[in-house]
Structure 1
Amino acid sequence: MIAAGFSADLINGSQQASWEGEVDEANWAKKYVLCGAKHQSPIDIQKKKVVYNNKMSLFELEGYDGPLHGDFAITNNGHSVQIQLPSSMKIKKGLPHVYTAVQMHLHWGGLDLETSGSEHTIDGLRYMAELHIVHYNSELYSSFDEAVDKPEGLAVLAFLYEVYGNIKNLLKAGQVTTVKTLDPLAMLPENLDNFYRYQGSLTTPPCTENVLWTVFDTKVILSQNQIKLLENTLLDWHNKTLRNDYRHAQPLNDRVVQSSFQVKMPKGDVCQHEISTKLTLIETELLDVKKRVATDPLKGKSGK
């Protein structure tokens, strides 16, 4: 039996909260009050607003080196794919406390018009998928179940990431398979020194605001074939293809996003807001031209 994760069905015994359907994302706050609170996750990380913190410690991960041997359950819980992790995996340094790993799970898109599916975005850009490695504070609490709704209870490492390749053995919601070996470190980017950090929440109900988030800046190249395989082989509780598995960005409000590195905007790099502004200006200009041509075709053609 896999340990409880971020999903409402595992924390509250409900299978009804989802991104679409009976209790969709837009209505979560009606049933789960905290989902409408002010320190929610995920967020859009805006580089220009990030504050560099040169005192932020780098990570020391214990037990991440593989291959690890054992029976690691992989579960389709109805809206995500969850992989059980051994308690030997810990964050020893880099956070205020020691945190012990519980599980990791994936978020992706899959809609015809939007294949990207990461929960966190950077300057408005959504990446193909996002991996979350969930930990609980094992210095203050004896188990994940105890820590899940307590202050400083959880920490999540988030990676903009490619899909795990052993996913094809799963199909319908509730189905479980296992792998005998696991190499978590091999699934992460080489550079773990550059990251963003902020205080947030669970990204599904009950949306408890006790999660210390670390989002790594280095991206891992995605495989389109793996994304398609994942979309086409997994079914949710209603036997529909499991897709659009991410919560949209929540307001930052009074929070500050810190970084372990000095964020630089490369020359020629334009943030999403600037792109949108430029497109709006272009569209306005085109509409003006269209109006001029419509009212005076000859003037429009001559450009006078």
Structure 2
Amino acid sequence: MTPRDDADNDADNTEGAAGPEGAAGSDGRWSDLDRPPLNAVALRRALVREGGLWSGVEVVRSTGSTNADLVALAGAGKAEEGLILLAEEQTAGRGRLDRQWTAPARSGLFFSVLLKPTQVPVARWGWLPLLTGVAVATGLSRAAGVDTSLKWPNDLLVNVGGAERKAGGILAERSGADGVVIGIGVNVTLREDELPVPTAGSLALAGAVGTDRDPLLRAVLRSLEQWYVRWRSVEGDPVLSGLQETYAAGCATLGRTVRAELPGDRSIVGEAVAVDGDGRLVLATEEGVQEPVGAGDVVHLRPA
């Protein structure tokens, strides 16, 4: 997925979309043989099992926002924990701060999942986007053979021709008192001439060994299930679950000079030195102060 309003491609990625289920038809948008449709039946067979996290898989041709649709379903009592909503095309995808995103049909993975971590204190729910980032990066590295890294808090980075580019991201939204909807977007087969800005990327442009979205999706969701179950079993403790250490090891933001653009038109420049126990990015400023950043846009500053 690719942003239309952020020239540096630094905003959070969009989620997928949901709507009435449909198969590929004769519409020209669905005629690209390099981008076959997802197989909902095969995905259900592979992912939904007794005792597992995933309770259902819905694949739709086109809709606005899977996060919005899944939040609405959960609010109406029509979604269980573990429901997965995927869209082949999104028309109103959103990133954080309501940034707009767009992507060609079937060029990526655009989906949302419903989680209900009721065993975990709400104060630790802020780790869910970071946990999802670790799971997505791990799953894609294994299935696509692409080196991935994470830009705090939830962007997926790949290397294209020696340059760091954003290929995906995560958006988390609360759903009622006990739920969180996690939206995930990953550019899979986006081509160079389809990129709106040079800093966007895709798995294909990064040299992926395979771009079949079905196995990529299964790898991501299995990785997400493993990490979520482990994190939930220790009541969301980021140390006992290994999440804090693993996130830091794969975070491209740490050790770099960054600018954090905060709410209220305030910004901080400093070296990113750690991710603390609350999942916040800790910046060491020139004044010798360490400031934790819990919300805001972070820009990796290039050398002068």
TM normalised by structure 1 equals 0.27
Greater relative contact order: 1 or 2 (C-alpha under 8 angstroms, separation 6 or more)?
1
Which has a greater percent of strand? 2
TM normalised by structure 2 equals 0.27
